[in-house]
Chain A
């Protein structure tokens, strides 16, 4: 197996805290929610297993063979199973990368146009890279069945992208090239005001 420290991108001298942070950062990056509609979902899952194994190995070494526990929770992730009927077969086709087959099955007029239909149609579009159309279908799926966690996750991921979020960016903390927005400035001022008030002073007299 690869060097577990290299997998997590940390030095062998890193503290437990640093290793935990690196692990958390990476597991966010490869989280199944971010990759579930991608044709590369299996590769993300592989990466996830790799970092889980690396994290467990390091923690086991450091604790002298004790079980580390706690942080392997992501590996148990599984999208809701228990599907039935036509949709189960369509899902199987999507999973195997047969998008044309899945799409023509979805276009069959006998298949009910419910929330799951919208979600699966969106998934096919997403895998093909037709992201604008995928978003329309995911939006419909969430509107038709607002309580479904799977549809919600797909929709939320696209909403985050729509707001300009890019997974794994090391520049998140520096802000975007545009710099500090008006919103950031107001937030900063309000924060500064609260701090001043804590110490008996005041920065913005009206609040």
Chain B
């Protein structure tokens, strides 16, 4: 999707980084197996995180073995065995990529528009398959995308409301990860807050561009007009409120494994990524 939910590598142990990479690898393979080769190139850190949480809550499905793959054809790399534990994550990623491309057609520049028009028909069969597997999630994403474009048409000023459709999508995806009623409730709120985080950081990232192209952006509709300093300050507050409540919610989750990696992403990665965007540093790929 956007790639904002990522770990802060300097504070990671080697073994944690290896496990993280193995999950990413496993998700890539699962996506290829279930939804086709092309979708493998659309994966992002965000869904590695979703995969990580779904494995962290479960009791099994974390067998890591050295495997060969397209990205590393010569050397075998540690990779999670494809046992279907990441099937839902791969499907959710596929559905969101499809909608992001559809969105690109309507309001982005010439290059991404052309790219989207070319890619969309190729990705459509995979989207249809994912939709067939998880129709209620597909329906919710469609509904939220509609809500988003309506809010944009109405020039919604409220950051809370503008962030809601994205928040609801991630919330629905996160809730589906677990079968346990208690964990579902926690994941639902965590997903909401993560989606809110992603929306706000993306809106800040695009603010200057949207100003030039006269696109919708809630940060451009403030009473103080276009003032990057004030926009940054407001984005910082909004993000900090979100992360504060995210930490409260995350602390209630019962994790079976991967806690240090998830701690790293929640407590360091999110703040660090936001700070990079705030200071207009380039994010690594």
A: which residues have CB within 8 A of B?
29-30, 34-35, 38-40, 43-44, 47, 125-126, 129-135, 157-158, 160-171, 174, 176-178
Instruction: Say yes or no: B252 contacts A171, CB within 8 Å.
Output: no
B189 CB–A CB distance under 8 Å: yes
Which listed residue (B8, B161, B248) contacts A167, Cβ 8 A?
B248
In chain B, positions 267-281 with a C-beta closer than 8 Å to chain A are 267-268, 271-272, 275
Q: Which residues of B lie under 8 Å from residue A165 when comparing CB positions?
A: 244
Q: Which residues of B lie under 8 Å from residue A39 when comparing CB positions?
A: 185, 189
Instruction: Say yes or no: B189 contacts A130, CB within 8 Å.
Output: no
Instruction: Say yes or no: A161 contacts B193, CB within 8 Å.
Output: no
Instruction: Report if A178-B252 is in contact (Cβ < 8 Å); known contacts: A38-B245, A43-B185, A125-B160.
Output: no
Q: Which residues of B lie under 8 Å from residue A130 when comparing CB positions?
A: 158, 160-161, 164
Kindly state the separation between the CA atoms of A165 and B240 in the bound complex, as whole angstroms: 8
Instruction: Say yes or no: A170 contacts B186, CB within 8 Å.
Output: no
Count of B interface residues, CB-CB < 8 Å: 38
A179 to chain B, nearest CB (A): 10
Q: Which residues of A lie under 8 Å from residue B8 when comparing CB positions?
A: 177
Q: Which residues of A lie under 8 Å from residue B189 when comparing CB positions?
A: 38-40, 129
Q: Which residues of A lie under 8 Å from residue B266 when comparing CB positions?
A: 166
Kindly state the separation between the CA atoms of A157 and B275 in the bound complex, as whole angstroms: 22
Kindly state the separation between the CA atoms of A168 and B267 in the bound complex, as whole angstroms: 9
Kindly state the separation between the CA atoms of A171 and B182 in the bound complex, as whole angstroms: 27
Instruction: Say yes or no: A40 contacts B271, CB within 8 Å.
Output: no
Instruction: Say yes or no: A161 contacts B244, CB within 8 Å.
Output: yes
Chain B at the A interface: SS class: helix
Q: Which residues of A lie under 8 Å from residue B237 when comparing CB positions?
A: 132, 135, 162
Instruction: Report if A168-B247 is in contact (Cβ < 8 Å); known contacts: A38-B189, A174-B11.
Output: yes
Kindly state the separation between the CA atoms of A164 and B275 in the bound complex, as whole angstroms: 11
Q: Which residues of A lie under 8 Å from residue B243 when comparing CB positions?
A: 161, 164, 166
List 30 A-B pairs, Cβ < 8 Å.
Answer: A30-B251, A35-B248, A38-B248, A38-B249, A39-B189, A43-B182, A44-B248, A44-B252, A126-B245, A129-B160, A129-B193, A131-B196, A131-B238, A132-B237, A133-B158, A134-B241, A135-B241, A157-B244, A158-B244, A161-B240, A162-B237, A162-B241, A164-B240, A165-B244, A166-B246, A168-B247, A168-B250, A170-B267, A171-B263, A177-B11
Which listed residue (B10, B240, B245, B249) contacts A177, Cβ 8 A?
B10
Instruction: Say yes or no: A129 contacts B267, CB within 8 Å.
Output: no
B159 CB–A CB distance under 8 Å: yes
Instruction: Say yes or no: A171 contacts B160, CB within 8 Å.
Output: no
Q: Which residues of B lie under 8 Å from residue A167 when comparing CB positions?
A: 244, 247-248, 251
B92 CB–A CB distance under 8 Å: no
